[in-house]
């Protein structure tokens, strides 16, 4: 397979990576140091990722949110007491440049398509490239995370910014479990603004745009859906702005189930001055600062009073795929997981064959992420005779059922124990 096809396949499987390019364009709009250089290296000077946004005010509101999160997270990382930052997902931000100039080691983890594209760019721009590394991972896949961190022998600060809101319930559970395993092995803390992301957006737009904020928030949501088609924004880890106190307890209880505890630290108290203030009036700046006093970042650590009975040294089965083509029927046997790492391989195998139907033996399949779900739906729709999954175990069938894929009205999925 040539490189161009490989990139295309990865992009279609993981459309969420386009939101990372939107973020760096917004950082450049805000005036964050080095963001414009990254935009240039990515050849995004035309701001194409921002063209789905309705107007300049919507872009401004998003740029405020992005810069506030970026600078506040950098501040909290510097105060964490650890000199290694594991950034998941790292996106295309200049965080690696900023932190390594402050004597940090930076480990960027993201989808393979992002890590492969961004690593040479940031290495060329950074003053201390030897302190920077990147790896392609799937956050729901512990084996990929453990492999990326295998040479780290000190506790670290792991950060997630702009990720958790895109996951389904099963994925959120998997990611939290994986981060807890990482903290068990390495020690350190997990810092994230993600639980309160909707609250931050709402309060930012309200403080800057007043009664026009609702329309601009709606435009922001519509732009996100057009861009990635995977926006979720609803799971047990993300606070409901209509029921803050109750949803805080829900998120905290979810963490407790995994042996974790959270400290909520005030956003405004840790937020440095922003470059984007140059684009706001003094009244807007003050209203925004006051609004951020109602938001928090979460610093999450192991709850030493609660022990999780789990053997974290047992690796997950590596992905494997066997394919045969018989009279227009592509027969696959899949082992391990269908996720953002393995799905491009499956799609490439499907697209290189002349296929009328696909039959997948799922007897050794352990997990399907949302990237895997998108892949299976696309394959099903592309085949004249559809997709058949057989030997489906209870855990995979539960994931399919939770996502509504056994309820399709037309060309139903066939969950069968027979060929």
Assign 114 a pLDDT band (cuts: 50, 70, 90). Answer: very high
Assign 125 a pLDDT band (cuts: 50, 70, 90). Answer: very high
CATH 3.40.50.300 describes domain 3-302: no
Please tell me the predicted confidence (pLDDT) of residue 397: 85
Of the candidate ranges 55-59, 101-105, 266-270, 397-401, the one whose mean pLDDT is the lowest: 397-401
Q: Is the pLDDT assigned to residue 5 strictly greater than 50?
A: no
Q: Is the pLDDT assigned to residue 127 strictly greater than 70?
A: yes
Mean pLDDT of the 143-170 span:
94
Assign 410 a pLDDT band (cuts: 50, 70, 90). Answer: very low
The pTM is what? 0.87
Q: Cα dihedral sign for 112, 20, 162, 125?
A: positive
Please tell me the predicted confidence (pLDDT) of residue 318: 79
Tell me: the pLDDT tens digits for 298-318? 999 999 887 655 544 444 567
Q: Over the chain, what is the mean pLDDT?
A: 87
Q: Cα dihedral sign for 348, 349, 352, 355?
A: negative
Assign 50 a pLDDT band (cuts: 50, 70, 90). Answer: confident
Distance CA 167, CA 122 (A): 27
Residues 6+ apart with CB under 8 A from 401: none
CATH for 320-416 is: 3.30.750.24
411 or 143, which is more confident:
143
Q: Is the pLDDT assigned to residue 345 strictly greater than 50?
A: yes
Q: Is the pLDDT assigned to residue 370 strictly greater than 90?
A: no
Angle of helix 370-382 versus helix 343-351 axis, rounded to 10: 10
Percent of the chain with pLDDT over 90: 62
Tell me: the pLDDT tens digits for 257-266? 999 999 999 9
Q: Is 43 left (phi over 0), alpha (psi -120 to 50) or beta?
A: left
Longest dimension (CA), the chain: 70
Distance CA 136, CA 122 (A): 15
Of the candidate ranges 226-235, 279-288, 322-331, the one whose mean pLDDT is the lowest: 226-235
Tell me: the pLDDT tens digits for 12-28? 666 666 789 999 999 99
385 or 121, which is more confident:
121
Assign 51 a pLDDT band (cuts: 50, 70, 90). Answer: confident
- Count CA within 13 A, CB hemisphere, residue 68: 28
Please tell me the predicted confidence (pLDDT) of residue 278: 97
Mean pLDDT of the 239-247 span:
95
Please tell me the predicted confidence (pLDDT) of residue 227: 53
**Domains of the chain: which residue ranges?**
3-302, 320-416
- Count CA within 13 A, CB hemisphere, residue 82: 25
Please tell me the predicted confidence (pLDDT) of residue 7: 64
Q: Is the pLDDT assigned to residue 89 strictly greater than 50?
A: yes
Distance CA 170, CA 178 (A): 12
Please tell me the predicted confidence (pLDDT) of residue 394: 86
Distance CA 143, CA 178 (A): 9
């Amino acid at each position: 397979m040539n490189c161009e096809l490989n990139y295309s396949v990865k992009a279609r499987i993981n459309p969420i990576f386009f939101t990372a390019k939107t973020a760096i364009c917004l950082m450049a709009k805000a005036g964050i140091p080095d963001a414009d250089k990254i935009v240039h290296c990515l050849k995004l000077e035309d701001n194409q990722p921002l063209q789905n946004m309705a107007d300049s005010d919507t872009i401004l509101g998003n740029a405020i949110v992005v810069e506030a999160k970026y600078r506040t997270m950098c501040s909290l990382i510097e105060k964490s007491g650890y000199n290694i930052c594991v950034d998941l997902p790292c996106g295309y931000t200049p965080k690696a440049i900023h932190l390594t100039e402050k004597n940090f080691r930076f480990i960027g983890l993201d989808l393979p398509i992002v890590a492969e594209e961004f690593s040479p760019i940031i290495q060329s721009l950074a003053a201390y490239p030897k302190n920077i590394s990147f790896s392609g991972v799937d956050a729901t896949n512990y084996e990929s995370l453990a492999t990326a961190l295998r040479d780290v022998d000190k506790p670290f600060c792991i950060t997630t910014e702009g990720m958790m809101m895109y996951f389904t319930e099963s994925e959120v559970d998997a990611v939290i479990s994986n981060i807890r395993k990482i903290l068990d092995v390495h020690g350190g803390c997990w810092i994230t603004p993600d639980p309160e992301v909707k609250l931050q957006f709402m309060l930012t737009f309200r403080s800057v745009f007043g009664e026009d904020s609702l329309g601009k928030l709606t435009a922001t949501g519509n732009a996100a859906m057009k861009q990635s088609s995977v926006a979720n924004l609803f799971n047990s880890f993300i606070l409901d702005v209509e029921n803050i106190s109750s949803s805080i307890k829900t998120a905290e209880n979810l963490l407790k189930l995994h042996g974790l505890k959270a400290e909520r630290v005030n956003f405004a108290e840790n937020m440095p001055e922003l470059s984007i203030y140059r684009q706001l009036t003094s009244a807007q700046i003050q209203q925004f600062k006051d609004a951020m006093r109602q938001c928090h970042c979460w610093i999450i650590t192991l709850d030493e009073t609660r022990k999780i009975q789990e053997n974290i040294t047992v690796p997950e089965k590596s992905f494997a795929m066997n394919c045969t083509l018989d009279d227009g029927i592509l027969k696959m046997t899949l082992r391990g997981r269908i996720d953002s790492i393995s799905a491009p391989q499956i799609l490439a195998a499907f697209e290189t064959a002349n296929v009328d139907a696909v039959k997948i033996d799922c007897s050794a399949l352990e997990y399907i992420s949302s990237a895997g779900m998108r892949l299976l739906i696309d394959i099903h729709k592309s085949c004249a005779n559809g997709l058949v999954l057989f030997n489906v175990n209870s855990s995979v069938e539960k994931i399919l059922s939770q996502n509504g894929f056994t309820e399709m009205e037309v060309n139903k999925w066939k969950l069968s124990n027979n060929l």
